[in-house]
Structure formats: C-alpha cells, structure tokens
Chains A and B, each alone.
Chain A
Amino acid sequence: MRTTVRALLIATFSLTVLIATSPAIGDTVFDYKTAKVDSNDLSFYQPSITAEPYPLTSDMRVRNVIFCIGDGMGINQVALAGATVAGPGGKLHLERLPVSGLVRTWSANSRVTDSAAAGTALACGVKTNNGMIGMTPDEKAYCSILEAAQAKGMATGLVVTCTMSHATPASFGSHVKSRKLEPAISEQLIDNRINVLFGGGRKYFLPQSDPNSGRKDDLDLLAKARDAGYTCIHTPGQFRNVEGSHVLGLFQFDALTTGAPEPSLAMMTRKAIRLLRRANLDSTDGRYGFFLMVEGSQIDWECHANRVNGSIRQTLLFDQAVEAAVDFALKDGHTLVIVTADHETGGMTLNGGGNEDKGDAELAVKWSTKGHTGAPVGIWALGPGATRFAGVQDNTEIPKKIAQLLGIRPFPRPAK
C-alpha cells in the first residue's frame, strides 16, 4: 500500500518555515519565557529503515532496567506518529520492540486516572487516588521500584522534559499527598540521592529570595544538593562535559521547551545511561546495575490542547529516547527496556478518508475530549524478561514484574 498519508503530512511539514531564533549553542543559561520550537519541524527524527522487530534477547539475568513512559501516549498517538514518518507499513522504534501488550490504567477512585495515580501505580505497584503521589489513599507511603532498586545497590536516574518534580518523576522518588507540592517533592528527590536527575523545574530548587523561585521558603536546594555531593548543571557545555556519581541537571526554571539548545530527551537518556553505568562501576564493581526512568512528558500537554502536530512531534522525541535505550540494551544484553504510557489524553481517533490511489487520502484526527480517557495503553518490551510483559495487564503489575526480575522482594512494600 502506498504511503500517501505520510507523503501528505510530510509535504505539509516541509512547507513550514523554520524558526531560526534559537540562541546559539554555547554556555548560555537557558530559561526562555516561551518555547521557541516549531511543531511542524520533524527533521530531527530519523525513522527506522526497517519495520522488522528488534531481536528477542535470550533470557539472561536482568542487570539494568530502562523504563520509558510516554505521558498521555495512547495507541493512536503512536499510530499517528508512525504513519506520519514511516507510512502505514512502517514502525516507530518503540513499535519494533519484540514483545507487546496492553495496560489498564484506572486509579483507585476513578476510571480516568491522572499522572499522579498512574505514576504511583507504575512506580509503587499500588492503586491510589488521583492527585496522590507514592502512597495509598489512606496516606500510607509505598516504596517505588526506583527506591527498591537503589536499596539493592543499583544506581538510579530520572530523565524528563517536564519539571523534575512533576507527577510522573515524583511518583518514582517521593511520597506526598498532592502532586501540587512540587517544592516538597524536589526536596525528597535530593534527599533520596537519586544519581541522575535531568529535566526542568529549577525554580523549585531556588530560595524565595531569588526572583525566579517557585518556593515559599528560604531553602536553597541547589546548595543542599551540592553539599550532598551532586554536580549541579544547567547549560549545554556543562551537560556535554559533566561526570560524577550524582548529577542534577535542571535546564529551565520551568518545564523544558524541548527545542535546541536544550539537550533533547534522547541526548539526556544517552548521557544518563553513561553516568549510571559509571556510577555503578565506581561504587559496586558493576554487579548491581541501574534503574532509569525516562518520560516523554509533553505528549500529554499537546493532547490536552488537541494539537495534532505537537502530539506527533512529542511522540517522536520520546521515540528517539527509546531508540537510545534500545541501542544500549542490544549491545549490553542484560538490560530490560519497557515502554508504556500512564494514560491516554484527548480521546484521539484516526479516521480515514479520500482515496489513496488518487493521492487525496488523509488521516483525519478527531478528539473526543481535552482531558484524559480511560482507554487502555500499549506496552512494549525488549531484553531479558521481556516476555513477561506480553498480554493484558493492570498498570500495578508492571513494577511487580520488574521487581521479580531484579530479585527484589517483597514488592510492593511500605516505604521506611
């Protein structure tokens, strides 16, 4: 079948004039007031030359886990991005993972989850109410899979494009009653000594005396992090050169713009993998491996705004990060890569129309809501233990399966 959909969409994108106002790459401090990215520009993305699945690794011990979460990334968001860049017969990198299944996403108090409850399910293996982070509805804190991995001696990392303290990363490294408590979440992320933290949200690490602060107290969390042994960075030059067992990279006061000169999600993922491997080698002779969570945070945001091109762009940026994880996993052989979403946003549907032979086929995108939906989401896996993630499962089962593969027990378990 001809890839008319792809041709039409790419033709549309190619007509768009690129915005050329981004600052030159250098050691300038970021912090744009508004995003300087063009959602129509997909030139950054290199599609797979094949739709063949990646190899199914023969079962070996799982040493490392890379858990990739596309916030708001329903199956149709994946299908649309794939059709745009690879045509109806092509695949995104994440679709080439050899094991796939579906995930139910409901929360403790609603069939329509938010990212806090879904993140808690994916991180801690327990259901909670929408808005709550890392604890059950009765406010009992539960250990996240990241914290359990760390207790086992593994190096840990969180890489996101939202603020570091937004709901999904917060679920892996903090325990609070409300997702809105971002200053408190930021403190817990540092107190938890997570090795690598890359994302936005520097405002929550600055004391209120700083004009860019998002805090209402005098705590200088960057100073506290430095005292705790973190290397704190926020420029492209620092990002390129940084080394260390604990690195805090906050590249905007608020969320990332996901445009140059910020490091892309894929660049941050590659760097995090390198740092985590080194941190682990330095501290434990490489015996214990690492756990890394990577979030494509802004798919959700584009879908809340019902922006088709933005949804495609953010999904592709996320897919690039998945490709980075897969590249490492295939070379390493002991790394499990899991890709899923916390929920679907926008109720996106793809309606066909026109005639492909006449070249007027279009993939009409319709939205049923500006909120989240209760639709199941996809899951894809590669590496040792990947087959355990096949089939239909509840979101709380995912960290339980990771824990089993890492020999972590009991899990779920209350936090200390």
Chain B
Amino acid sequence: MRERRAILRVSATYSLEVEVGDAVHRGDKIQTVPDTEEAVVSSVSGTVESIQFDSGNHEFVIVIAPTP
C-alpha cells in the first residue's frame, strides 16, 4: 500500500534540524528543544517536501513525502 504524506506540527520557538529537500528516516530528529532532553522525531521516512510557519498557532508545519 502506498504511504501518505506525513504532516508534523512542532513549536516554532526552536530551530529545526531539517530543511526542505532533506531525506529523513523514521526516528530522525526533526527538532531538539534547548536545555532539555526533549526532541521531536520523524514518524515516517521520506523527504521534507515543505516547511510552513503557522502564525496563529506559532508552529512549523512540516510535510514529509514518502520516498518513491
């Protein structure tokens, strides 16, 4: 079955560790929260297709497309 795009929403306060075009694997860090052990990891493998800033929620919306 073909995988769907994954949409991750993360806080916009902290830097991202991925850019558009990056290949990511399931479990790779998307964002590390400074001064804590917290990290946001990718739930899927694929390529970062887009990163948008959602000002209302102050979040980054990251779209990861499955690698063909």
User: Residues of A at under 8 Å CB distance from B?
Assistant: 109-115, 130, 162-163, 167, 179-180, 254-255, 298, 301, 304-305, 369-372, 374
Contacts and interface: CB of A to CB of B under 8 A. Distances in A.
A301 B12 CA distance: 10
Given A109-B36, A179-B58, A130 B13 contact: yes
Given A114-B13, A372-B13, A372-B14, A255 B55 contact: yes
A109 B15 CA distance: 16
25 contacts: A109-B36, A110-B34, A111-B35, A112-B13, A112-B35, A114-B11, A114-B58, A115-B58, A130-B11, A130-B13, A162-B55, A163-B56, A167-B58, A179-B58, A255-B55, A255-B56, A305-B53, A369-B15, A369-B16, A370-B12, A371-B12, A371-B16, A372-B13, A372-B14, A374-B34
Given A255-B56, A298-B55, A371 B35 contact: no
A329 B23 CA distance: 55
B6 interface: no
Contact of A371 (B13, B36, B57): B13
A370 B51 contact: yes
A371 B58 contact: no
B39 interface: no
A110 B56 contact: no
A304 to B, nearest CB: 4
A254 B34 contact: no
Q: Taking each of A162, A179, A372, A374, which has the highest tally of chain B beta carbons within 10 Å of its own beta carbon?
A: A372
Contact of B35 (A109, A162, A167, A255): A109
A304 B61 CA distance: 12
B31 to A, nearest CB: 8
Contacts of A162: 55
A285 B3 CA distance: 69
Interface residues of B, number: 17
A112 B35 CA distance: 9
Nearest to A130: B13
B37 to A, nearest CB: 12
B13 A370 contact: no
Nearest to B13: A114
Interface of B: 11-16, 33-36, 51, 53, 55-58, 60
B56 A254 contact: yes
Contacts of A110: 13, 33-36
Nearest to A110: B35
B60 to A, nearest CB: 7
A113 B60 CA distance: 16
B34 A370 contact: no
Contacts of A254: 56
Nearest to B14: A371
Nearest to B55: A301
Given A370-B15, A370-B51, A112 B56 contact: no
Contacts of A374: 34
Nearest to B11: A114
Contacts of B34: 110-112, 374
Given A110-B34, A111-B34, A111-B35, A371 B15 contact: yes
A301 B34 CA distance: 21
A301 B53 CA distance: 8
A115 B57 CA distance: 12
Contacts of A371: 12-16
A290 B57 CA distance: 31
Given A301-B53, A305-B53, A112 B58 contact: no
Given A254-B56, A370-B12, 5 more contacts: A111-B35, A112-B14, A130-B13, A304-B53, A304-B55
B11 A370 contact: no
A130 B51 CA distance: 22
A180 B57 contact: yes
A113 B14 CA distance: 9
Contacts of B60: 370
